[in-house]
Amino acid sequence: MTAPLLAVLDYGIGNLHSAHQSFNHVGADARLTADPALIADADAVVLPGVGHFGACMRALRASGLDDIAVAAAADDRPFIGICVGMQLLYEDSTEAPGVAGLGILPGTVDRIDTGGDASLVLPQMQWNELDLVGPGVDDPLLDGLEASWMYFVHSYAGPADPDLVTSTCAYGGAVTASVRRGSTWATQFHPEKSARAGLRLLANFVDLARDGVSPGVDDAVAATEASAS
**Which residues participate in catalysis according to the annotation?**
83, 190, 192
User: Edge-to-edge strands of the sheet including 92-93?
Assistant: 92-93, 108-111, 156-157
Burial (CB count <10 Å: 0-12, 13-18, 19+), residue 228: exposed
State the alpha helices, DSSP H only, in the chain: 16-25, 36-41, 53-63, 66-74, 84-87, 195-211, 217-228
**CB distance 9 to 56 below 8 Å:** no
CA pair distance 151, 131, nearest whole angstrom? 14
DSSP string, 27-94: T-EEEEE--HHHHHH-SEEEE---S-HHHHHHHHHHHT-HHHHHHHHHSSS-EEEETHHHHTTSSEET
Nearest to 34 by CA among 70, 78, 66: 66
Residue 76 phi/psi, 5-degree rounding, is -90, 5
| Spatial distance between the Cα atoms of 5 and 74, rounded to a whole number of angstroms | 18
